[in-house]
């Protein structure tokens, strides 16, 4: 089936360290979206990537879409306690099952 593999499953960092989560698909993606879910909350849309090799930045967050449109990454520079949560990549669109990656749970030691 159409799967999206996300690694790592968990990441614990010291505040101020960087963090990266990776998302890999077995098939070419039309687009990929990233969501963040705070503890006890619901997923919230962060960004969408569409073009091959696309890079987008939101303050300390950098999102990349691979050249082959089969992988994506989210990088956070100098983490802060407000970054705590689980980050999901998500593929969908068209007549495809809507698939989330397994998520990367980020915890931060202040």
Partner 1 sequence: KAGVTQTPRYLIKTRGQQVTLSCSPISGHRSVSWYQQTPGQGLQFLFEYFSETQRNKGNFPGRFSGRQFSNSRSEMNVSTLELGDSALYLCASSLGTGGSYNSPLHFGNGTRLTVT
Distance CA 14, CA 3 (A): 31
**Residue 100 CB, nearest distance to partner 1 (Å)?**
4
Which among 15-23, 63-71, 72-80, 88-96 is the span making contact with partner 1, rule CB under 8 A?
Answer: 88-96
Which of 43, 63, 65, 66 touches partner 1 (CB under 8 A)?
A: 43
Which among 11-19, 42-50, 58-66, 69-77 is the span making contact with partner 1, rule CB under 8 A?
Answer: 42-50
User: Which residue matches tokens 């306690």?
Assistant: 81
Question: 21 - beta bridge partners?
Answer: 74
Distance CA 16, CA 63 (A): 19
With H, G, I as helix, E, B as strand and everything else as coil, classify residue 77: coil
Residue 39 in contact with partner 1, rule: CB under 8 A = no
Residue 24 in contact with partner 1, rule: CB under 8 A = no
Looking at the Cβ atoms of 77 and 102, the one nearer to partner 1 is: 102
Burial (0-12, 13-18, 19+ Cβ within 10 Å), 108? buried
Distance CA 81, CA 107 (A): 8
Residues forming contacts to partner 1 in the complex (CB under 8 A) are: 30-31, 33, 35, 41-45, 48, 50, 88, 90-103
């Amino acid at each position: 089936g159409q799967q999206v593999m996300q690694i790592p499953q968990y990441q614990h960092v010291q505040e101020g360290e960087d963090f990266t989560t990776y998302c890999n698909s077995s098939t070419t993606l039309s687009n990929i979206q990233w969501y963040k879910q705070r503890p006890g909350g619901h997923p919230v849309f962060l960004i969408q990537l569409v073009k091959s090799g696309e890079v987008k930045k939101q303050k300390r967050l950098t999102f990349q879409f691979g050249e082959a449109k089969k992988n994506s990454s989210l990088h956070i520079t100098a983490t802060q306690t407000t970054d705590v949560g689980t980050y999901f990549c998500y593929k969908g669109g068209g007549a495809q099952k809507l698939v989330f990656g397994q998520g990367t749970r980020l915890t931060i030691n202040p």
